C-alpha cells in the first residue's frame, strides 16, 4: 500500500502515531517510544484488575462485531483446571479493509505487547497470532519482532524478569476469507478445514484444542497498552457522539476519493468530514453516489445517508448499516451499482465454505441472477427473487458470510433500483464481457 498519509489536524493519533517510522519496528526503537511500559505495569497487577480497566474504558471489538472487549475477557473461566489460549485475529480479509496490516508493518512490538497484556489478563499460557497468508511483508516483520521479544526477555519462561511465562506464536493462514470468522480460525489453527463451528459451546468454554479461548482483532488489542498507560478515563473521553462508542478507530478508505488510505479518527467523527475533508473529496470533479462504511459485508449507504452518518456503532446503525471493520468503500456518480454489487456477491460465492445450504446455494444463485441482469437477459421478477433469496440467506447459517452477501444486495436494490430497472428494460446496454454466467 505504500506509506500512509500525513496525519491531519482533525485526527486523533493513537494507534497510527508511528506509521511510516522504520525505527519503531525494532525492539530498541519501541522501548525508546515508551513501548513495553504497559506490559510491565500489567504484570505487576492482578489479571482481574487489567480486565476491569479494559471494561471501564469502553473498548469494543474493532474487527466487526463491536462486542465489549473487557466483558469478552471476563467470560474466561477464573479457575485454571485447563490451559487457556488467546488468538489474535490478523487474517484481515474483509474487502476494503487494510488497517491491521499497517499496525503489523509499522508497530509489530506494539501488537506483541498488546497480546502479552491480554494473554496475562485472561490467564492464558499461549497466544496464537493468526496472520493472513498473503501478508508476506507483515509476516516477516512480525517474526523479526517476535524473535527480538524472546531474545530481550519480554516473552518466555521469565517474562520481563517477573517469573511469569508468556509464549506467543505466529500461525500463517492460507488465504481463506472464512478463516477470519473466529471459530473457523480456531479450526485452521488445529489443522482442520477452516469451517465455522456451531455455537454453543462458545470459545470461552470450548475453543482452540477444546480449551477456553478468547479471540480478538489486531486493532482491538493494539489499543490496550495505550489504555493502561493513559487510563480508562482518558480512553472514554475520546468520544464525539455516543458514550457507548469510545476511543479512536482506524478507517481504511478506498475507491473514488482523491486521497485513499488509513485515517485514525475519534469515534463519532462525521463520515462526510472523513470523505470531503481528510480524503479530499471525489476525484476528477465527480459527485458522491454511495458508500459502504464498514467493509463489503455491511449495507450500502446512498449519498444523503453517507453525509448524515456518524462513524461509531450507534451512528452507523441509525443509518441502517454497521461500522464493521471500518473499510470505507466510496463510489462516485460514474459507478455502475449493479456491477459493483455483483462483484461483491461473486466474492462471497467464491469464499463460501459450502457448509450451509443457504450460503452454498444462495450466494451462487444471487451471483448468477446479477450476472444475467448485467448481460441484458434479466426479468422483472428477478428483483423480487433476489430479495426473497436474500431473506432466506439471512440469519439462518452457522456464520454470517451468507448475511454478508445479502446485505449489499438488499440495500443496493432498495436504494438504486432504477439502475437495475435500466438493465431489465433495455434502457441500459448490457455490461459486456466478464459477467457471463
Question: What confidence category does residue 198 fall into, taking pLDDT thresholds of 50, 70 and 90?
Answer: very high
Q: Mean pLDDT across the stretch 388-397? A: 96
Pairwise CA distance, residues 305 & 283, whole Å = 20
DSSP type of residue 364:
H
Instruction: Name the DSSP class of 173.
Output: -
Cell triple for 389: 433469496
First to last CA, the chain: 33
431/436 Cα distance (integer angstroms) = 10
- 392: pLDDT strictly greater than 90: yes
Q: How far apart are CA 361 and CA 378, in angstroms?
A: 19
**How is residue 349 written as a grid cell?**
460465492
Element at 253 (helix H, strand E): strand 248-255
Task: Tell me what pLDDT residue 79 has.
Answer: 84
**What CATH architecture is 22-236?**
3-Layer(aba) Sandwich (3.40)
Residue 10 has pLDDT above 70, yes or no: no
**pLDDT tens-digit series, residues 132-151:** 999 999 999 999 999 999 99
pLDDT at 431: 78
Q: What is d(CA 269, CA 312) in angstroms, rounded to the nearest whole number? A: 8
**Pair 179, 140: CB distance under 8 Å:** no
Give the β-pairing of 269-270 and 167-172.
unpaired
How is residue 240 written as a grid cell? Answer: 464525539
Q: What is the pLDDT of residue 378?
A: 94
pLDDT score for 12? 78
What band does 437 get if pLDDT is binned at 50, 70 and 90?
very low
Give me 175's grid cell.
488465504
Please report how many Cα atoms fall inside a 13 Å half-sphere around the Cα of residue 355, on the Cβ side: 16
Assess contact for 407 and 329: CB atoms under 8 A: no
The pLDDT value recorded for residue 435 is 52
CATH 3.10.20.600 for domain 238-332: yes
CB atoms within 10 A of CB 379: 12
Q: State the CB neighbour count (10 A cutoff) for residue 158.
A: 12
Average pLDDT of the segment spanning 334-340? 97
What is the model's pLDDT at position 80? 82
pLDDT score at 81? 86
Round to whole Å and give the CA distance between 119 and 156: 13
Per DSSP, the three-state class of 237 is helix
> Is residue 5 over pLDDT 50?
no
Q: Is residue 130 within 8 Å of 173, Cβ to Cβ?
A: yes
Q: 65-90: per-residue pLDDT in tens? A: 899 999 999 999 988 889 999 999 99
Burial class (CB in 10 A: 0-12, 13-18, 19+), 277: middle
C-alpha cell recorded at residue 105: 508493518
Gap between the Cα atoms of 169 and 212, Å rounded: 17
For the whole model, what pTM was predicted? 0.94
User: Which CATH number does the domain 337-425 belong to among 2.60.40.1930, 1.20.1440.230, 2.60.40.3670, 2.60.260.20?
Assistant: 1.20.1440.230
**Domain boundaries in the chain?**
22-236, 238-332, 337-425
Instruction: Please determine, for residue 282, whether its predicted confidence score (pLDDT) is greater than 50.
Output: yes
CA distance 391 to 382: 14
Amino acid at each position: 500500500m505504500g506509506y500512509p498519509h500525513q496525519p491531519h489536524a482533525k485526527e486523533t493519533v493513537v494507534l497510527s502515531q508511528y506509521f511510516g517510522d522504520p525505527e519503531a519496528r525494532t525492539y530498541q526503537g519501541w522501548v525508546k517510544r515508551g513501548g513495553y511500559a504497559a506490559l510491565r505495569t500489567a504484570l505487576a497487577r492482578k489479571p482481574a484488575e487489567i480486565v476491569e480497566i479494559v471494561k471501564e474504558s469502553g473498548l469494543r471489538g474493532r474487527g466487526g462485531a463491536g462486542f465489549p472487549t473487557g466483558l469478552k475477557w471476563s467470560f474466561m473461566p477464573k479457575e485454571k483446571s485447563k490451559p487457556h489460549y488467546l488468538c489474535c485475529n490478523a487474517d484481515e480479509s474483509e474487502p476494503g479493509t487494510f488497517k491491521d496490516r499497517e499496525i503489523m508493518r509499522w508497530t509489530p512490538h506494539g501488537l506483541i505487547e498488546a497480546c502479552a497484556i491480554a494473554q496475562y489478563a485472561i490467564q492464558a499460557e499461549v497466544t496464537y497470532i493468526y496472520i493472513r497468508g498473503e501478508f508476506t511483508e507483515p509476516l516477516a516483520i512480525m517474526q523479526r519482532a517476535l524473535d527480538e521479544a524472546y531474545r530481550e526477555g519480554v516473552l518466555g519462561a521469565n517474562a520481563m524478569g517477573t517469573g511469569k511465562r508468556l509464549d506467543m506464536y505466529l500461525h500463517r493462514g492460507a488465504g481463506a476469507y472464512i478463516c477470519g470468522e473466529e471459530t473457523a480460525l480456531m479450526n485452521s489453527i488445529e489443522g482442520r478445514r477452516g469451517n465455522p463451528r456451531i455455537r454453543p459451546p462458545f470459545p470461552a468454554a470450548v475453543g482452540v484444542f477444546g480449551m477456553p479461548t478468547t479471540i480478538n482483532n489486531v486493532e482491538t488489542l493494539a489499543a490496550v497498552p495505550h489504555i493502561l498507560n493513559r487510563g480508562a478515563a482518558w480512553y472514554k473521553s475520546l468520544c464525539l457522539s455516543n458514550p457507548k462508542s469510545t476511543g479512536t478507530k482506524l478507517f481504511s478508505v478506498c475507491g473514488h476519493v482523491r486521497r485513499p488510505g488509513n485515517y485514525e479518527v475519534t469515534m463519532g467523527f462525521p463520515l462526510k468530514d472523513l470523505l470531503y475533508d481528510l480524503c479530499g473529496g471525489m476525484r476528477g470533479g465527480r459527485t458522491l453516489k454511495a458508500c459502504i462504511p464498514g467493509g463489503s459485508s455491511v449495507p450500502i449507504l446512498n449519498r444523503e445517508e453517507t453525509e448524515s452518518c456518524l462513524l461509531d456503532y450507534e451512528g452507523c446503525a441509525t443509518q441502517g448499516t454497521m461500522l464493521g471493520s471500518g473499510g470505507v468503500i466510496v463510489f462516485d456518480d460514474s459507478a455502475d451499482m449493479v456491477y459493483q454489487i455483483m462483484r461483491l456477491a461473486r466474492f462471497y460465492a467464491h469464499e463460501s465454505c459450502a457448509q450451509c445450504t443457504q450460503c452454498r446455494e444462495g450466494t451462487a444463485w444471487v451471483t448468477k441472477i446479477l450476472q444475467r441482469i448485467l448481460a441484458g437477459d434479466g426479468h422483472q421478477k428477478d428483483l423480487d427473487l433476489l430479495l426473497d433469496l436474500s431473506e432466506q440467506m439471512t440469519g439462518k447459517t452457522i456464520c454470517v458470510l451468507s448475511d454478508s452477501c445479502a446485505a449489499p444486495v438488499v440495500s443496493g436494490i432498495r436504494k438504486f433500483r432504477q439502475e437495475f430497472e435500466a438493465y431489465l428494460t433495455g434502457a441500459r446496454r448490457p455490461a459486456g464481457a466478464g459477467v457471463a454466467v
